[in-house]
Amino acid sequence: MELLHREGLARIGRFRTPHGEVETPNIMPVINPNIRTLPIEIMKRMGMQCLITNSYIIRRTPELKEKAMKDGLHSLVGFDGPIMTDSGTFQSYVYGDVEFHNTDTVKFQVDIGSDISTILDIFSTPENSNEEASYAVEETKRRIDEVESYCERSNIAGPIQGSVYSELRARSAKIMSQSPASYLPIGGVVPLLEQYRYSELVDIILTSKLNSDFSKPIHLFGGGHPMFMGMAVLLGVDMFDSASYVKYAKDDRLLFPEGTRDLKELTEIPIWSPLHDRFSMSELKSLERGEKTQALAEHNLFTIYMELGEIRERIREQTLWQYVESKARSHPALMQAFRRILAYSEKVLPYTELYRKSPFFYFDEFSAKTPYGVRISNMGKFRENYVSIPKRFCLPAGLDPKFIHEIYEKSTVNFSFPFGDLMVPAELEESYPVQQSIICNRIPEHYSWKNVDIDEGAVTARQFPLEKIRFLADVQFGQGSGKALFSENIKIDISKNTGRIRTVRKNGEIIATMRAHDGYLALTMEGAKIIKELHKGIKNRVRVTEDSAKFNALGKSVFYQFIKECDPQIIPYNDVLVVDPQDNLVAVGRALASGREMREYKKGIAVTINHHQKNSS
């Protein structure tokens, strides 16, 4: 799996198969090898890159089996792109034991040319006892182990089981991540999806994701309804499959981004639907059964791909979180699930970028509980005994200059100011997401200073710009970094036009700049040297191979496969030091992934270089 774009756990990625690449997030429409509701060409025009079919049906149907063995799976289906095959696990769950065994099942899938072959795992349901679910996890482990020899010939899917038991889901995810499986579906969730038990799905998906290898795609079996797809992707799901586009069509039901509607209750065909220019509503309702099913299936699949396109665009814009947050209001089950996501904000925080391209949308009290809200609260812990004594704070335009000069600089009190339901350290006035927010809560314009006694004739106790950059350095690079980087004899350059900090110099050399787009510090090589000497070991570092270091010293990006070691506390979009195996500083740049992800991804760019050894200007 190669990471291309990200927003927290959500990602646009790319993984390779023998029949081409798949860009995620994406869906595999379920194709019944016996029944073709939609022609492959129509599905490809909608954007279909891959599909899933059932090897059990093929194997137990003589004419299909013969053609698949002779001409291959892709010839049988009539599709030249990546194809995943299911094993018959669901049939085993519905009808009892199937007549085939695990090893034979995987061998058959590999022999007919499946791009992703699935083991015959044990299907666990939400109603299973802990003992039954535990057996499913252990037996599935045994079955993935016995097909290891086939992993060189095909991508093998190792399903994550465990029913509704978080400890079993975590164990199963770790087992499958350490196994030869290169593709990780989350199984046993269809009953939860059908019953709108989305809050429980949040627990299952996040537990599975956070205990899985980030370099392997995560697939949500059966999770192809557009109303939940955005939330699932936000939680880290990369791939879906769905037969719903056909099943709902057979029941005269149409998929919409926010839910499902009955054909008999509709009076207009949406203008975005592929059916809009072909039928009137009365014509659509009066079609013969077969033709109607095909038309509705086309609409349904188009809706799914339309929603996926929106989700991918949201990730590129880094607005998926606010999209999911606003969409959660469309259904009580989604809103309950969104509240459940907020309970995981602390666990998701290590994978949350220091800043995003988009503004932070502050809707209500729930926004304060997002990972960004939690980060602000955590930043406040870098100062003790904060008191909230604001006066005419004009958010997000910045702090009142009168406050800075008359109150802050003549006091040793640590101040904070209101930001929605949060209290923010005054030094974070310009840092993401405070100034880069759009907030619907009305911030009162006038506050009283009665709680602070200031001697108007007192000399300046501290300088706001200096305290501000020291605070940011502590937040970004660890406690003690601020005073080490910014001693009393530094020179802070302030923009005459904006009044904002631009650069910080020491002995005439620029050691850091204040980034305008996010209000955080960017280190130069001179600044990075100070941080390196302050923090020993691997802290703030990405250690690369000798060969990589030579290229990084010239300003070339760091690739995952050349990382030998890195600080596990690295968060995406923060500055990091790039060092060679002997801990010599060769560059400083922006991390594109967390420390954990850097250890697990095998392909792609991990750090983009800002300053480097051969050109430290």
DSSP tag of 363: -
Do the beta carbons of residue 447 and residue 389 sit within 8 Å?
yes
Q: Which of 115-124, 355-364, 390-399, 490-499 is predicted least confidently?
A: 390-399
Q: What does the pLDDT look like over 290-300, one tens digit per residue?
A: 999 999 999 99
Q: Give residue 394's pLDDT.
A: 32
Neighbours of 88 (CB within 10 A): 21
d(CA 526, CA 390): 37
Quote the mean pLDDT of the chain: 91
- Confidence band (pLDDT; 50, 70, 90) for 448? very low
Between 258-267, 389-398, 414-423, the lowest mean confidence (pLDDT) is in 389-398
The torsion region of residue 312 among left (phi > 0), alpha (psi -120 to 50) and beta comes to alpha
The per-residue pLDDT for 444 is 44
Sheet holding 83-86, edge to edge: 155-157, 116-118, 83-86, 51-54, 26-31, 239-242, 218-220, 184-186
Beta bridge partners of 399: none
DSSP-assigned letters across all residues of 487-501:
-TT-EEEE-TTT--E
CATH superfamily of the domain spanning 2-342: Queuine tRNA-ribosyltransferase-like (3.20.20.105)
Say yes or no to pLDDT of 443 above 60. Answer: no
| CATH architecture assignment, domain 536-617 | Roll (2.30)
Predicted local confidence at residue 561, as pLDDT: 97
325 pLDDT more than 90: yes
The CATH architecture to which 463-524 belongs is Roll (3.10)
- pLDDT for the residue 381: 72
Query: 140 or 461: whose pLDDT is higher?
Result: 140
pLDDT, tens only, 21-63:
999 999 999 999 888 899 999 999 999 999 999 999 999 999 9
Q: Which one is predicted more confidently, 574 or 393? A: 574
Per-residue confidence (pLDDT) for residue 616, from 0 to 100: 53
Report how far residue 298's alpha carbon sits from residue 300's, in angstroms, rounded to the nearest whole number. Answer: 5
How do residues 178-205 score in pLDDT, each as one tens digit? 999 999 999 999 999 999 999 999 999 9
Q: Is 50 exceeded by the pLDDT of residue 445?
A: no
- The kind and range of the H/E element at 297 are helix 289-317
Name the strand (E) or helix (H) holding 117.
Answer: strand 116-118
Confidence (pLDDT) at 12: 98
In this prediction, residue 76 has a pLDDT band, given cuts at 50, 70 and 90, of very high
Domain chopping of the chain, boundaries: 2-342, 349-458, 463-524, 536-617
pLDDT on residue 562: 98
Question: How high is the pLDDT of residue 377?
Answer: 87
Q: Phi and psi (nearest 5°) for 317?
A: -80, -15
Q: Give Dmax over CA atoms of the chain in angstroms.
A: 96
Residue 234 has pLDDT above 70, yes or no: yes
Same topology for domains 2-342 and 536-617, yes or no? no
Pick from 321-325, 414-418, 433-437: least confident: 414-418
Neighbour tally for 123: CB within 10 Å = 21
Give 517's pLDDT tier (boundaries 50, 70, 90).
very high
Which of 383, 371, 407, 397 lies closest to 571, judged by CA?
Answer: 371
pLDDT value, residue 426: 84
Q: Alpha carbon of 3 to those of 47, 334, 455, 593: distances in Å?
A: 21, 28, 56, 9
Angle at 266 between CA 263 and CA 267, to 5 degrees: 135
Task: Say which amino acid occupies 531.
Answer: I
Measured distance CA(385)–CA(315) in Å, rounded: 38
Instruction: Compute the average pLDDT of residues 312-331.
Output: 96
Active site residue 583: no
Instruction: Identify whether the C-beta of residue 110 lies closer than 8 Å to the C-beta of residue 154.
Output: yes
Catalytic residue among 86, 115, 203, 238: 86
- Identify the band that residue 536 occupies on the pLDDT scale cut at 50, 70 and 90: very high
Identity of the residue numbered 26: N
Query: Residue 581 has what pLDDT?
Result: 98
State residue 412's pLDDT score.
Answer: 74
Instruction: Read off the pLDDT of each residue in 374-399 and give the average, rounded to a whole number.
Output: 56
More confident residue, 390 or 308: 308
Place of tokens 């033709």: 291
Single-letter amino acid code for the residue at 595: G
Query: Would you place residue 401 in the very low, low, confident or very high pLDDT band (cuts 50, 70, 90)?
Result: low
Rounded to a whole number, what is the distance in angstroms from the first to the last CA of the chain? 35
Please state whether the predicted TM-score (pTM) of the whole model is above 0.85: yes
